[in-house]
Each structure stands twice: as structure tokens, then as C-alpha cells.
Structure 1
Amino acid sequence: MEKSISFSKDGNRKNDTVGTPKHGSNDTADAKTLSESQIPGETEENDINIAEDHPSSESSTSLAQVVDEVDRFLQALSSTVEDESKYPEAPESVEILSTMVDSMITDYNDGKSLIRFGKDPENDSSFVEALNRVSELSNKLGEFPSLASSLNRMSAVLQRAMSFLDEEFRTLLEDWKSEKSKNNEENCNSDRCVLVDQNQQDHQSDQMEDQDQGIPPTFVFSPETVSKLNAIATAMISAGYEAECAMAYSVSRRSAFKSALDDLIGHECFSIDDVQRMHWEPLEGEIATWIAAVKSCSAVLLPNERSLCNAVFSSRPSSSHSLFGDTARAAVIKLLNFAEAMVLTKRSAEKLFKFLDMYETLRDLESSIGNDAGGSYPSEVAAETATVKAWIGAAAASIFCDLENSIKSDNGKTPVASGAVHPLTRYVMNYLKYACEYKDTLEQVFRQTDQEVKDDDDGDYHDHRDRDRESETSPFSRQLSTVMDLLDANLEMKSKLYRDPSLSFIFLMNNGRYIVQKIKGSSEIHQLMGDTWCRKRSSDLRQYHKNYQRETWGKVLQCLGQHDGLQVNGKVSKPVLKERFKSFNAMFDEIHKTQSTWVVSDEQLQSELRVSISAVMIPAYRSFLGRFKQYLDSGRQSEKYIKYQPEDIETLIDELFDGNSTSMARRRT
């Protein structure tokens, strides 16, 4: 036995159980069944009446019977020759089918629920099946002028059915609004799902791992809702109402996307003027918000929208492709507008890293669009994304190159006190350290810039650097070398501001050691500059060290090491010896007084300097003292000229370069 939908003589639908027709039944028997339930009298347009004198013995007709008769009628129409006299007459099943569909719509409309379609899957299936036949009849009857009355009837019922389905379709699509009003931050739970293809889930979860935002309610649909949407879309498309269905979907989903992006970005949008007027601090926050929105859009929203589109319009892939493309275009263009506005803002060094963050974000978006297996994204979306990414990259390259101008323009004439590390050195090296954390991105940016220069020169491109070196190094490493060369030249110029040559070498050592230590602490910079460059820097430091020792301690060692003039007629001259001790004491006191105020902030360099000074000074002084001390009378005379013991010299050397001008005074009290 099968459960079927039946209609009584008054036109009201009822559930009835009828026997399945025997295999032996023929067309004549089926026609008899239908003819006995025919509706006498004319039916007025857009109104269905079932005659009260319908025979009670045939009080109901199943949908299966009606559909079977309609199918035979459609087959007969398809095989009819052009002879109008041979057109078959419309069987009563055509009228009954209209009545059935009309009654079903009335029943749906009488429901109390906001969403009526989908409450009874079996009933919905019967409705769609009946509607499909109405659609087929409407299309076929149009070919036969003599069947115009039946066509009018079918068209009226079909129009009413499409109006009902269109309303249901829109209501289902707008379900996200009620969800959003309940909880604006609702996450996907056990009875709701997001339409993400299985092969996308792992990749997307990696991309969204660090994001705290949940899936917007605009993109959460239960499997049941998706199934209903698909059934309605399929029915409307089959009935020739594809444009209306697509319009309803497009309007709703664009609104959903706009709401989701507004929630993610936190505002409607910023105009170019708005962005340009903003101070950098709040703009930094807007950039961070924008980056999160783009990542969410790329990793979750757009893939889920594509999956939803494919699921709803599975019967018409071309419509799915077109509708998703329109939605994606609107969403991406809105996000790109902010990036375009950023390109037009005033350039400054602190903006580099945010621009690089934006570049990487757009690069990932471009990759996501390009790797879309279904080719769902319109070509202009990919092209526009690539263009804006290139603009952001060019802006980042320009900002980085401004570092050269900053170094060149730093030509102050006041030397840094105590020969310490210059603020310019700290600024440039820290800037480069952070910049090199974006090494791969900057490589792409400068490679893009180099290519644009070559293209602008129509292939006649000649860099001022050696072409062999250019072929062996990357664009960014060459740029980095240029910055380092400029910094070296600037520091060399600043070292000449010191009147004391020894202090100029301390200054060069301080800054050189700071640069080397920064490079050692950054594998990215070290890799870009190369071992040869790093070895040269270390060699330069050793040379500065030698120059300092020669300039500072050369005369002192000469005082202790040259014995010429100390002997007169083969004997040590006490007056000359006393003068030599006085000269040594004066020179050493002056060096200690001055250089104890100098600063060597790097502890290792400070220790190396003290050790190297002690290594030459202590043995020289001990030898001089041991050889000539005996020629001075013991007592007060000896104490007057022999001011220091070797241990005192070592102690005082250990007080050099600590920036303490009172060390000698403390020692002498």
C-alpha cells in the first residue's frame, strides 16, 4: 500500500490510502477512473471550484494517478503532428493537477510558522513533483493555440506557486538576521553547520588558528535549511524563474556579506579623505582590524559562501558561479578600497611594517583566489587584488628607500658625548633588524620594483652597480648593502667631529661593535650581508682598536721604552730620570682622567680594550720601574716621583671607559 495525496469532491486535500494500480491496468481503465472524477462546469480564471455533484463513489484522486495521466498527455503532445485537427484535448487530470497545486499553496499559507515550506518533507516532495508537472504543462501548452484556456489556468497556478516559493526562499535566506539578533557573536554549534568543503578545512583552520572571532551568523545554515533552499531553487529554475531566484539570492547574500564585513571592520567604510586625515596611532588599529577582516574573508567567509552557492544551485552550476562571483567581487572591492586609501597617505618610516603586513595579507588573498580549483572568482577580482597588492608593495619599497635619505640628511655637527653609540646607528640597525624579519616579503617587493624599472626602460635597463654582482645578489640585499654603506660613510664623517683622535676611534669602535652585534643577533641580516662583509667589519674593528692604542698609548710607551738621554757619561742622570717619571705620571693621569669618562657600552669590547692596554702597559712600566727605581733615593724622594706601582696602573686601567669622571677622585681619597 502507498500513502498518497487525494482530493475530495469539494476540492479539499486529504490523506488517503489507495491500492497501488495493478500491472494489468490499461490506459482505458485509468482514463475511466479520471473521467468519473471530472469536474463539470467551467472554471473561472484564478479560481478553482470542485463541483458539489462530484460522484461520491469516486470521491478522491491520488497525485500519483494525476501525474501519471499528465505524463501521458505530455507524451502525446510531444508526438503530435502539425495537423491541428489531431491535437489531443486536455484531460481532466490537467484541471485536477491545477486544483491540487492551488490547494497545497493554500494549505501552506494557512500555516502559523514563519517558514512553511519544509515542515513536512513528504508533503514538500509531492508539491515539488506536482509543480514540476505544472511547469512542464505550461511550457508545452504554449505550443498549442487550441489549448489556450488550459495554458491560462496553468500559468495562473504557476505564478502563484512561484510567488509562494520566492517568499519562502527569501525567508530562509534571511534567517541569519534572526540568529544575529539573538546573539551577535554566535558560533557554529552542534545543530548548525558551515558549508566548507572537507579538503579546505585543514588549510582554513591553520589560517584562522590565531583568530578569536567566531563564524558570523550570516554564514551559518543548518543542513535542513540548505536542503530546502536547494529544493526551492531547483523548482524555480525548472519553472523558468531562474532570474527571480538568482535576484532574491543575490540581494540577500550581498546584504549578509555587508553585515559580516561591517562587523569585522567595525565601521561602514573609510573614504580616502577620512584615512588621510587620521593620525597614525588610530590608523594602526584600523589596519590591524582590516587585516583580520581580510584573513577571515579569505579563509572562511568566501569559501563558505562558495560552498553555500554550490549547494543551493547544484542544478545550475552556471548560476552558482555567477552569483558567487558577484558576491565575491563586492566583498573584495570593499576591502581593497581601504588598501587603496592607505597607498595615498603620507609616507613615513614607521609605516613600513604595517604596509608589509598589508602586502602579505593581500598576497595570501591573491593566492587564495588563484588557487581556487573551481575558478569561481571573476578575473577582475584577481586582477584588482594583484594591482592593489603591487601598489602597497611599491609604497613599502619607497618607505624603505627613504631610510637612505634619512641617513644622508643626518649631518649634525655636534658629536655624541663620550664617543658612545650614535642614535642614528641604533635607529638604523634596529629598523633593519625588524625589516629583515620581513626578508622574504621585502625580496618580493624589491624584485617587483626592479622589474617595473626594467619594464619602464623598455629592456634597456642598466643599474649603476656591477652587473655580475647584481646577478649574484638579491634586490633587497643590494638595497641593504646601500644602506650599510651610507651608514658607514655617515659615521666616518661624524668621527671627525671629535678633536681627540683617540676618542674618534673609540666612537668608531662603539658604533662598529654595535653594528656587528646586531648583525650577529639577526640571522636574516647576516644571511643577506654575507660572510665576506661580516669578516670585513670585524677587520675594521681590529684596525680601529690598533689605531686607538697607537694614538693613546704610543707616547706613553715611548716614554717608558726609550732610554736615550737617561745616561750622561755612562751614568744615569737623576734629574732626567725624575723628569721621565714626572712625564709618565702626567700623561697617565691625563689619560685616566679623560678616558674614564668615555663610554664603551659593550662589555666585551670594554674588556678587550682594558686587557689589551694592560698587556702592553704593565710589562713596560714594571720593566722601567724595576730598572730605574734604584737610582732614586728612598723615602720621600722616591714617593714623589714613583707615583704608581704596577698594580695601581692595572687598577686604574680597569676604570677606563666606564663613563665615571670621579673614579680617580674616589681612589685618591
Structure 2
Amino acid sequence: MSTKSKSCQALLLSPKRHRLRMRRLYIAHMIHCAITQKFCHSQRVLVGIAQQRKGMRSLCLDPETPSFSMSRSSASGLSTPRFSYSESGIDQCIEAAEALVLKWNPEASAFAKVTSLFYEDRHEAMHYIKCVNQLQKAMDFLLSDNSSSQKLVLAHKLMQMAMKRLQKEFYQILSMNRAHLDPESMSTRSSRTSIRSSISDFDDDATAAEDDVPNAGDSISEVEQVSSIAMADLRSIAECMISAGYGKECIGVYKVIRKSIIDEGIYRLNVEKVSSSKINKMDWQVLELKTKTWLEAVKISVRTLFTGEKILCDHVFRAFESIRESCFAEISREGAGLLFGFPELVARTKKSPPEKMFRVLDMYTALGDLWPEIESIFSSESTSAIRSQAFESMVRITESVRTFLSKFESTIQKHSSKSPASGGVHSLTTHAMDYLANLADYNNILSEIFADWPPPSWRSMPESVLYSPDSNDLSVPALTARIAWLILVLICKLDGKAKHHKDVSLAYLFLANNLHHVVFKVHTSNLLYVLGEDWLAKHESKLAKFVGNYEKLMWGEVISSLPENPRTVISPAEAKEIFSNFNFKFEQAYRKQRPFIITDMKLREQIKASIHRKVVPTYRQFYDTHRITVGSAREMAAHVVFTPRDIEGYLSDLFFGGITADDVSSSSASSATSSPLRRHS
């Protein structure tokens, strides 16, 4: 390809690559002209390129760099000449650089081949960096001043040797300090050991190179001191190589080594690449285990792994914003993609056991808690794809949670099993309330997820249903309205199941049992925080009405069979009739209650105490007053079946799902005068 074609191609590159390519093109052409003795002719051909090079000089040199001058000082046997833009100054600069570069040229010295410059003599290493920087300025001057090509050829060769040496040193420092530059050490670095300046900030005095590391008197650990020195050296080399146009070589070494550290860290945290099809084939137990592993891994990765790498990358390439951003994006993109993409895969999986809801909410919580740190670490345009992946996972989890709750509501409405024969708490009530109570533990997260979800339509329910928030009341939080709606759907479903009991009083007992369980779950979980005291009070009132209706329908006839004033004087015939009627009504009510159960002990004792207060005292007064008026002992035995103590015993055995210790044997005869409870009495 001709020189003209190469120049045209360079114009299509980025400004930085364009500048570096033109510099190398110009140097190569100058060397070629010197060899063929056609320098004068070539100089006219390339004058246009040189003028472009002058215009872009501000892009490649730091404006804060001191003026091009050098001072002679003696340290470690090194001599650095002071010069201005003169032939003698150029010569002295090249000579000083030549001596130091050749000394550490691994191809010319066995000592240099096996020895690290920065580990052997760090003070001399700082002078090496300075000489290379000054050599670069000399080359810039030769290019702009059209000086002798022989000097430029020599300077270019020295620069190539120096860049190879520095690239090797850069690799060695990164490789040998993996333990000291690990992300955990970086993320927990003390401010006392922070690096204060780069090699470009040094004074002319060579002793200023030690400013990059903590003083010997500082109270720091050996690991912090070693890592501080390594970070300072890496930054010095990176700034020197990038300024000289060898950034690609430097950045390439950095990416290879540091990317391997991130990838290894992600692997050690048991986060692996997995496809959507593979996740769909996993058993839920395996997927749940992977989810729990991810929950631990994401915290360590964000707060240690990526934070540490960001700190190191920002320091090493502090002088070059675009480079440090693109470099960090390159080394973290794959690992972060695996990490932040996993929740989205889980949310999209076709498996939907009840436990999945809570695992995806756990992942949403983890990402939400870490979101400020994720935004800070991946704040650049280069890492925007990583931020987008994390955010997309949260969006998918939101959609998944809403879908879960819609399916949950549909499951309640389609539930087909009848109410239990014992009238106890239905399994649907138990499972639904356990599920909602667990959901309430995520009330903060669910409030975010439901914030813009349209509220349920309360108008689809009859006005006679239990208390529910006004759908037009904007002050009702979205989460409160949604949970209240789901409980309402549950109670309406239970109301339908209660109709399977032929006896209305037992249907009320079934509803009381289940509503009590609902109220109990709300009162003893975060559902109370979600629904509020007002909701709880209204449902407790409704529970009391259910109990009252049950007592009225089941025990009303028993109570009404006794006179309002049990001590009123009546005839023996009237007393016989009242005793016989009471025996029949009590036995009938008792037999209906035998198979029924009240699971909650407190509710059971409250209902039994209420029945006892309404039945036993009145019957005892009537029994004590009129049993002797019935007639003979035989007539008494025929009409007075139960003593007050018997009634107390039978009532105490209620609501256990059958007769307990005081089991009542059945009689072959069934009549008012031959009660099945009589023999036990």
C-alpha cells in the first residue's frame, strides 16, 4: 500500500489512533529516506503530514506536562542533562536515554533478561520512565523541527526497546502482584495508603518518586504497602506507554490479566453461564439452590470484585478517562453479564412452584439494595449495557411477580374441593394465608412492583361482602388494595364452600373458623402492617357476627326451650313437657356438633363459654326448682335425662371433632323418653 493510501486510511480512524498512526508512518518514512539517501525529496512530500502533526500535538501531550527541559542530577550513578530546544540538548537527551535503555535491554544483557527493573532498583526505574518521557519529547521536537533523520532513527529504535522493556515490566508487576492487587484488597484499601500522584507529577528531584508510596512510618500493613507500590508503578508505566503511542500494547496486557481475575472470581462464586433452555429443564430444587448461591455471589461481586477492579483500573489509567472507562468495561462485561442476566432467566422460566415467587423477590431485593453501587461502578457510557442488563432483570422480575399473583388469584377462584366435613379451617385458607403472610415480608419491594399496576375492580364484588378499600380512594396504597382484594377473593370462595353444609348454623361455624384463621394470620404477620388496624377491626367484627349467627341458629331452640324465669311455679305436667323438650333439643344440637371442630383453642373456649353462659345457669335453676315436681322416681328418670353437671360435661367435649373422654353410647331405641345420651347419664 502506498504512503498516500495509508494516509487516507488513517483519516477514517479515531483521532487518537489517527495521530499515532501518522507519527509512526512519518518516522518509518524518514528512516526509509535516510537509508536511500532521498531525505530532501521525501521531506517535501511529507511536509503536509508534518503540519497536521503539529496541529494535533495538543491531543497527545498532557497540558500540565512541564516544559521540555532536563536537569543534571546524580542518583544511582545516573546523569540526566538539562537542555532547551537545541542540537546539543537533543544529543544529550538521546545519549542519556541510550545508556539507560541499552542497560536494561534484555536482548543485549543476560542480567537485564532475568532481572526486573522495578524490583531491582525502583529509584532507577523512575529515572528510566523520566528518560523515556524526555526521549519522546525529543522525538516530537525532531519531527516538528525537521532535524537530522539519523537522530530520529536512533531515538525511534531506543523508544521501541524501551516500550518492550516497559511492556514486560507492566506484565510482570500485574502477574507477580495478583495476591496484592486482588479485588478484596482494592475494595477495602485505607485512605492512608491511597496513591497521591503519578510519575508525571514528580519534581525534577529523583527522590520525589517515592511520593507515590506510603512513608515507612505510616501504620499500614505489608500487603497495603506492596499493593500501593505496585499501583504506583503500573500507573507510571501506563502513562509513559500511552503518551508514547504504545497504549494498545499496555492496555492489551492489562485486559488479559485483569479480565482473568474477574472471570475466575465469578467462577469461584459458582456463577456459571447457563442458557434459558437449560434452566427450563432443571428441577426446581436445583434451580432454587442456584438462586440462593447467586444471592450470595451478587453481593460479593458488586461490593468486592467489581468495586476493587474499578478502583485499580481508575488509578492505573487515571490520566486517560476514555481508556479507563473502556478498559473496565472490557474486563467486566462478560462476568457482569453472567451475574446480572441470571435473574432474568429465572424469572422467565416456565416452572412456577409457589416458592419461585419468593426467590425472585429475593433477587429483586438484592438488586434493589445494590442498585446505587451498580450505578456508581458502571456509570460510564461504556458500561451502560451492564446497567441495562441489571435493570432489565428487575423489570422481568416485576412482570413475573404480577403474573404470579394473577395466577394465585385464579387458583383461588378455580379451587374445586368442598369444605371439610368437620367444618374446620380449609386447606385453601391455610395455604393462601401462609402465602400472603410470606409475601407481606417483602412489603417494601412489593410496594414498588405494584406502584403502577392498575388496582382491582371492587365493583365486581357484591356490596354484602366483607370490608374492602374504596377503589376510588387514592390514599389507599397499591399493595394494601391488592392484598385486601386477594383476601376478599379467598373469603368469597369460602362463602361458596360453606353452602355445602346443609345446616346453616354449621355453615356459619365453618366461616367463623376460617375467618378467624385469616384474622389470626393478619394479626401475627406483616400483613397487619400492610392492611392496617382498621381492616383488622372490621374483620374481627365480622367474625363476631359469624359466631353470633352460629350460636343463635344452633343453640337458640335449646335456650328457648327453657322458661325465661326458671323459678316460676308451674304444674308437674308443664315441668315434664319442658324437661322433655329440653332433652330433645339439646340432644339434637349436640349430635349435630359432634363431628365439628374448632382448631384454635382460644376461639373454641370462647364459644363454649358463651354457650355455657346461655344454657347451664338457666337449666340449673330450672332443674333444682322443678325436678322434684315431676313425680315419682320412675317418672323423674323418664323425663329428667340430664343433670346440670351432665350438660357442662357435654359442652366441654364439643368442638374436638367427636366425643372424647365422655363418649356417649347410642341406644337401640330413639325416642324423647329413651335418649341415646341417657345411659351415659
Q: TM-score range by the shorter chain?
A: 0.7 to 0.9
Range with greater deviation from structure 2 (334-343 or 422-431): 334-343
Aligned residue for 2:242?
237
CA RMSD of aligned residues (A): 3.6
Aligned residue for 2:437?
433
Quote the Cα distance in structure 1 between the aligned partners of 2:93 and 2:282: 72
Quote the Cα distance in structure 1 between the aligned partners of 2:135 and 2:192: 41
Aligned-residue identity in percent? 25
SS at match of 2:269: helix
**1:267-286 deviation line (CA, Å, top 9, x unaligned):** 3x111111111111110111
> Given the alignment, which residue of 247, 252, 256 partners 1:251?
256
Quote the Cα distance in structure 2 between the aligned partners of 1:65 and 1:563: 123
SS at match of 1:633: coil
**1:199-220 deviation line (CA, Å, top 9, x unaligned):** 899xxxxxxxxxxxxxxxxx99
Aligned residue for 1:628?
626
Structure 1 counterpart of 2:162, one-letter code:
A
SS at match of 2:657: coil
How far did residue 426 of structure 1 move? 0.6
**1:281-334 deviation line (CA, Å, top 9, x unaligned):** 110111111122211121111221111112212333442233223334333222
How far did residue 221 of structure 1 move? 7.3
> Given the alignment, which residue of 491, 497, 500 partners 1:488?
491
Instruction: Report matched runs for 1:254-653 at 5 Å.
Output: 254-267=259-272, 269-346=273-350, 347-371=352-376, 378-412=383-417, 414-450=418-454, 468-469=472-473, 471-522=474-525, 524-561=526-563, 572=571, 574=573, 577-653=575-651
Q: 1:645 to 1:241 in 2, by over 3 A?
A: same
Quote the Cα distance in structure 2 between the aligned partners of 1:403 and 1:263: 37
Structure 1 counterpart of 2:484, one-letter code:
S
SS at match of 2:412: helix
Aligned residue for 2:186?
194
How far did residue 597 of structure 1 move? 3.1
Quote the Cα distance in structure 1 between the aligned partners of 2:391 and 2:415: 37
Quote the Cα distance in structure 1 between the aligned partners of 2:176 and 2:517: 62
Q: 1:552 to 1:289 in 2, by over 3 A?
A: same
How far did residue 388 of structure 1 move? 2.2
How far did residue 105 of structure 1 move? 2.7
CA contact (8 A) 1:495 1:507 kept: yes
Quote the Cα distance in structure 2 between the aligned partners of 1:120 and 1:65: 12
Structure 2 counterpart of 1:253, one-letter code:
R
CA contact (8 A) 2:306 2:377 kept: no
CA contact (8 A) 1:510 1:601 kept: yes
Aligned residue for 1:137?
138
Structure 2 counterpart of 1:402, one-letter code:
K
How far did residue 518 of structure 1 move? 0.9
How far did residue 385 of structure 1 move? 2.2
Range with greater deviation from structure 2 (508-517 or 584-593): 584-593
CA contact (8 A) 2:424 2:599 kept: yes
Quote the Cα distance in structure 2 between the aligned partners of 1:97 and 1:563: 123
Range with greater deviation from structure 2 (147-156 or 361-370): 361-370
Aligned residue for 1:35?
none
Aligned residue for 1:660?
658
How far did residue 424 of structure 1 move? 0.7
Q: 1:621 to 1:173 in 2, by over 3 A?
A: same
Do structure 1's residue 67 and structure 2's residue 80 form an aligned pair?
yes
How far did residue 503 of structure 1 move? 1.7
Aligned residue for 2:152?
151
How far did residue 481 of structure 1 move? 1.4
How far did residue 632 of structure 1 move? 1.8
How far did residue 392 of structure 1 move? 1.2
Quote the Cα distance in structure 2 between the aligned partners of 1:446 and 1:637: 73
Q: 1:345 to 1:338 in 2, by over 3 A?
A: same
Q: Give TM-score, length-normalised by structure 2.
A: 0.74
Q: 1:225 to 1:195 in 2, by over 3 A?
A: farther
CA contact (8 A) 1:352 1:396 kept: yes
SS at match of 2:655: coil
Q: 1:287 to 1:314 in 2, by over 3 A?
A: same
How far did residue 143 of structure 1 move? 3.2
CA contact (8 A) 1:359 1:392 kept: yes
Structure 1 counterpart of 2:111, one-letter code:
D
Structure 2 counterpart of 1:539, one-letter code:
S
Aligned residue for 2:94?
94
Quote the Cα distance in structure 1 between the aligned partners of 2:450 and 2:150: 74
Quote the Cα distance in structure 2 between the aligned partners of 1:613 and 1:571: 26
How far did residue 225 of structure 1 move? 1.9
Q: Give TM-score, length-normalised by structure 1.
A: 0.75
Structure 2 counterpart of 1:110, one-letter code:
F
Aligned residue for 2:208?
none
Quote the Cα distance in structure 2 between the aligned partners of 1:162 and 1:422: 79
Quote the Cα distance in structure 1 between the aligned partners of 2:496 and 2:110: 89
CA contact (8 A) 1:197 1:307 kept: no
Quote the Cα distance in structure 2 between the aligned partners of 1:440 and 1:371: 23
Quote the Cα distance in structure 2 between the aligned partners of 1:405 and 1:96: 84
Q: 1:195 to 1:366 in 2, by over 3 A?
A: closer
Aligned residue for 2:460?
none
Structure 1 counterpart of 2:386, one-letter code:
V
CA contact (8 A) 1:90 1:147 kept: no
CA contact (8 A) 1:593 1:664 kept: no
Instruction: Report matched runs for 1:174-189 at 5 Å.
Output: 174-175=175-176
Quote the Cα distance in structure 2 between the aligned partners of 1:489 and 1:432: 16
Range with greater deviation from structure 2 (315-324 or 486-495): 315-324
How far did residue 501 of structure 1 move? 2.0
SS at match of 2:119: coil
Quote the Cα distance in structure 2 between the aligned partners of 1:649 and 1:93: 117
CA contact (8 A) 1:108 1:116 kept: no
Structure 1 counterpart of 2:80, one-letter code:
V
Q: 1:504 to 1:388 in 2, by over 3 A?
A: same
Q: 1:105 to 1:571 in 2, by over 3 A?
A: closer
How far did residue 449 of structure 1 move? 3.8
The unaligned stretches of length 5 or more in structure 2 are: 1-34, 36-73, 194-223, 456-467, 666-679
SS at match of 1:105: coil
CA contact (8 A) 1:408 1:490 kept: yes
**1:594-623 deviation line (CA, Å, top 9, x unaligned):** 424321111111111111101110122123
Quote the Cα distance in structure 1 between the aligned partners of 2:378 and 2:294: 26
CA contact (8 A) 2:329 2:383 kept: yes
How far did residue 170 of structure 1 move? 2.0
Quote the Cα distance in structure 2 between the aligned partners of 1:598 and 1:442: 39
SS at match of 1:661: coil
CA contact (8 A) 1:104 1:127 kept: no
CA contact (8 A) 1:505 1:544 kept: yes
Quote the Cα distance in structure 2 between the aligned partners of 1:292 and 1:427: 29
How far did residue 492 of structure 1 move? 0.6
Aligned residue for 2:464?
none
Aligned residue for 2:86?
76
Structure 2 counterpart of 1:506, one-letter code:
L
Structure 1 counterpart of 2:633, one-letter code:
G
Quote the Cα distance in structure 2 between the aligned partners of 1:160 and 1:435: 66
Structure 2 counterpart of 1:572, one-letter code:
S
Q: 1:404 to 1:276 in 2, by over 3 A?
A: same
How far did residue 551 of structure 1 move? 1.1
